């Protein structure tokens, strides 16, 4: 019985602090700067006179506010941003990304936060984080779950 208790205690201790970020993204972003790559894709992301908005732009702002972070926006084509994310030069990429993207093997996608059932292939919309940043990914997904019910109304307001 003592051996089983010891093994159980070791397993519990090993699990402390999970999930972890392999590169410490959540700890670095908290109270610091969140580097967000943006692909302009209305209504998901918009750039109005240098101010990022849209459904996902608002989500990124909410996430940063909850972490006490400021956002450094990086605008570029999707492939460049996802490559930078893979290299950990960015923390988050937004801009109408779909779960079916070929990049799903190189970066970490969130669970779908919106499924467009009006499209023939049922587009599942996701955000992307660097691979292995599990604590940060969970924080992003928590925000998405909290905001998921708002997405259809936001899309209707934007004319989509």
> What's 95's domain CATH number?
3.40.190.10
pLDDT tens digit sequence for 56-114: 999 999 999 999 999 999 999 999 999 999 999 999 999 999 999 999 999 999 999 99
Is 103 part of any domain?
A: yes
Is 5 part of any domain?
A: no
Is 9 part of any domain?
A: no
Of residues 74, 67, 73, the one with CA closest to residue 32: 67
Is 99 part of any domain?
A: yes
pTM of structure? 0.85
Is 45 part of any domain?
A: yes
Q: How many folded domains does the chain comprise?
A: 1
Domain that holds residue 102: 22-157
Please, which residues bridge with residue 53 across strands?
A: 46
Is 129 part of any domain?
A: yes
């Amino acid at each position: 019985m003592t051996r089983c208790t010891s093994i159980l205690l070791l397993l519990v201790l090993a699990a402390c602090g999970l999930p972890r970020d392999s590169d410490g993204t959540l700890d670095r972003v908290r109270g610091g700067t969140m580097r967000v790559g943006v692909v302009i894709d209305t209504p998901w992301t918009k750039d109005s006179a240098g101010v990022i908005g849209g459904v996902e732009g608002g989500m990124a702002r909410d996430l940063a506010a909850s972490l006490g972070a400021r956002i450094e926006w990086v605008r570029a084509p999707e492939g460049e941003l996802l490559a930078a994310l893979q290299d950990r030069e960015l923390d988050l990429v937004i801009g109408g990304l779909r779960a079916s993207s070929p990049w799903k093997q190189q970066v970490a996608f969130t669970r779908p936060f919106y499924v467009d059932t009006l499209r023939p292939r049922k587009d599942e919309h996701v955000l992307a984080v660097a691979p292995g940043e599990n604590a940060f990914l969970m924080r992003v997904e928590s925000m998405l779950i909290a905001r998921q019910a708002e997405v259809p109304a936001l899309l209707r307001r934007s004319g989509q």
